[in-house]
Structure 1
Amino acid sequence: MYHIMPYWWDINSMAEFMGNVIDWGELWKQKTAGKKECSMLWHDKKYAGRYDENVKANNWRKGRRLIRELNVTMRSRVLDIGAGPGTLTIPIASMVKHVTAVEPADGMMWYLKKNIAEKGLDNVACVHKKWEDVDIAKDLEGPYDVVVASLSLGMPDIKAALEKMNAASSAYVYLFWPAGVTYWEANYAEIWHELHGKEFRHGPRCDCLYNILYGMGIYPNIKMYKDEYLESFSNINDAVEYYRPFYNIENYRQEAILRDFLRKKLIRKNGRLILKGYSNIAKIWWKKRYDY
């Protein structure tokens, strides 16, 4: 019987045959170098507020989609890394024993605490720090049955971040990260050269994560799924203002380019302007102990 080896194995093996083993952690650092940290975009309450509106749409639909991918019970203790305004934390809190939400951005933390208060949740603890700065012994209430990081792996030293996640878990660790070019990155790439005179640099993909984990002696499971990206605006000015920091808009020329681009991309529906697309996301997970 013949077996088709996974893509990440093929790259690694070819590199070894050529006498050049890939340093996946260093590759991750190179691909994240020079990019704005995700948390920096969400310190502003205005931007965090719009994100908060989206995640609460349709009864926290995004968070409930994530919950279906996790192995949790009413006795579970959950650590949510990069919690945002509570995308996962809020809907899962009523289903588990405890949640600790780690979130570095001021704006996101403000909405997270607001949502916790509005829901009357008394089993959620908030840690207002970068994951890199979290002290497991002092800042957390672990160990946790489930540690999850959903599209929140912007740490340059990803190996150290993963080691800490693994140490904080007593059972499962779940990571959600792009498997290919995301819908929003594809949009950036379309006009990045026109805006900035250079090509857009895509971030690291799930193949980096898999190989870093493999090098740590962790052999994770992988599942792919399509994730919907949806933004809604009242008018074109609203859309331009929202996307300015994401496209690094600094002058009127760049703003005009962005405005023309959005006019072509936005679709009018029910009196709103909608930007919609799909991205391939990898669910990467492992269990620390197995009963044989």
Structure 2
Amino acid sequence: MEENQKGFWNTLKARWYQKGLKYNTLPKVVLPLILSKTRGCKTFLDVGAGCGTLAIPLSKAGKSVTALDPSPAMIKLLSEEIKKKRLRNIKPVQAAWGDVELKPHDVIICANVPELLKDSIDFLKQANTLAKKAIFLIEGADPNADKFYYKELYPLLFNKPFLQRTDYLKTYIDLHELGIFANVEIIEYNFDQPFDDMNEALEFWKEYMGIVTGEHDEKLRNFLENKLERFKEGLVARFHKRSAVIWWWKS
């Protein structure tokens, strides 16, 4: 799922994201909620679909899915999975929101795409127009939530705090200003990240934190050795997330 512009999800990050899907419980938690509220809906537009976190299970549930994502790396992985699983009802579209003309769909889903929701008014207006029946947004539900241990790592490595982020409340207020009085359901899920070994874990954090030299390697390695758990396939970082599912029916 896109986090910034298409350049954010390079091949390395996209492969790590896909590797973590095996341990990501978001689909198991949120799909029953979405499907229970969209009976009779056939076409779904997944905005920021990534490598198919929700698009693939929606397809397996018999829905026709357009998977929109700006990242070539993510769309490549999704296309490979579509071919591997022989799925015929997913259409991958490599484009950012607003860069390509899209047909109306019964349901629009936008899960964990902070770039679109950061200044959300225009996106919310457009999505509300394009959706025939319902819209589902999934967004973090705690502005104080940590990410990849950044609350500890930023002071340790950069001598500065990891700043608080906006959460679903801003989006909800924007919807209210548009006269859309949405429903909100809070969910919790795991999104653990596996690694083959410590070298891969070190590479992961350096890539995500924008560290290009080896000056922090020793501190970072020592920190991760106390955080990561060993399991049969290597190492795993345990992460738990609380999110809001904001949804509404078109009036």
TM normalised by structure 1 equals 0.77
SS state of the match for residue 127, structure 1? strand
Deviation of 1:107 (Å): 0.8
Matched, 1:256 2:222: no
Cα gap change, 1:257/1:163 in structure 2, threshold over 3 Å: closer, same or farther?
farther
Instruction: Work out which of the residue numbers 111, 114, 137 in structure 2 matches 1:153.
Output: 114
The residue that corresponds to 2:67 in the other structure is 101
Cα gap change, 1:165/1:255 in structure 2, threshold over 3 Å: closer, same or farther?
farther
The residue that corresponds to 2:133 in the other structure is 171
Deviation of 1:39 (Å): 4.1
The residue that corresponds to 1:134 in the other structure is 99
SS state of the match for residue 268, structure 1? strand
- 1:5-62 deviations in whole A, cap 9, x for unaligned? xxxxxxxxxxxxxxxxxxxxxxxxxxxxxxx8264331x223212211222x27x854
Cα distance in 2 for partners of 1:270, 1:264 equals 18
Deviation of 1:240 (Å): 0.6
Deviation larger for 229-238 or 263-272: 263-272
Cα gap change, 1:282/1:110 in structure 2, threshold over 3 Å: closer, same or farther?
same
Whichever residue aligns with residue 184 of structure 1, its letter is K
SS state of the match for residue 282, structure 1? strand
Alignment RMSD (CA, Å): 2.1
Instruction: Work out which of the residue numbers 227, 231, 251 in structure 1 matches 2:193.
Output: 231
Deviation of 1:113 (Å): 0.9
Matched, 1:45 2:8: no
Cα distance in 1 for partners of 2:238, 2:146 equals 8
Whichever residue aligns with residue 154 of structure 1, its letter is E
Q: Is the 8 A contact 2:5 2:70 kept in 1?
A: no
Q: Is the 8 A contact 1:100 1:141 kept in 2?
A: no
The residue that corresponds to 1:80 in the other structure is 46
Cα distance in 2 for partners of 1:255, 1:159 equals 41
Unmatched 5+ stretches in structure 2: none
SS state of the match for residue 166, structure 2? coil
The residue that corresponds to 1:66 in the other structure is 30
Matched, 1:182 2:151: no
Q: How is 1:26-41 mapped onto 2 (pairs within 5 angstroms)?
A: 37=4, 39-41=6-8
Whichever residue aligns with residue 190 of structure 2, its letter is E
Larger RCO (alpha carbons 8 Å, 6+ apart): 2
The residue that corresponds to 1:274 in the other structure is 236
Cα gap change, 1:106/1:182 in structure 2, threshold over 3 Å: closer, same or farther?
farther
Cα distance in 2 for partners of 1:275, 1:175 equals 26
Whichever residue aligns with residue 147 of structure 1, its letter is I
Cα gap change, 1:75/1:172 in structure 2, threshold over 3 Å: closer, same or farther?
closer
Cα gap change, 1:38/1:184 in structure 2, threshold over 3 Å: closer, same or farther?
farther
Q: Is the 8 A contact 2:25 2:190 kept in 1?
A: no
Matched, 1:207 2:172: no
Cα gap change, 1:199/1:235 in structure 2, threshold over 3 Å: closer, same or farther?
same
SS state of the match for residue 238, structure 2? strand
Whichever residue aligns with residue 124 of structure 1, its letter is I
Cα gap change, 1:191/1:120 in structure 2, threshold over 3 Å: closer, same or farther?
same
Q: Which runs of 4+ in 1 moved over 6 A?
A: none
Q: Based on CA coordinates, which of the two structures has the bigger radius of gyration?
A: 1
Cα gap change, 1:40/1:254 in structure 2, threshold over 3 Å: closer, same or farther?
farther
Q: Is the 8 A contact 1:101 1:127 kept in 2?
A: yes
Q: Is the 8 A contact 1:249 1:255 kept in 2?
A: no
SS state of the match for residue 38, structure 2? coil
Whichever residue aligns with residue 145 of structure 1, its letter is D
Greater helix share, structure number: 1
Instruction: Work out which of the residue numbers 100, 113, 120 in structure 1 matches 2:79.
Output: 113
The residue that corresponds to 2:156 in the other structure is 194
Deviation of 1:110 (Å): 0.5
Instruction: Work out which of the residue numbers 56, 74, 83 in structure 2 matches 1:90.
Output: 56
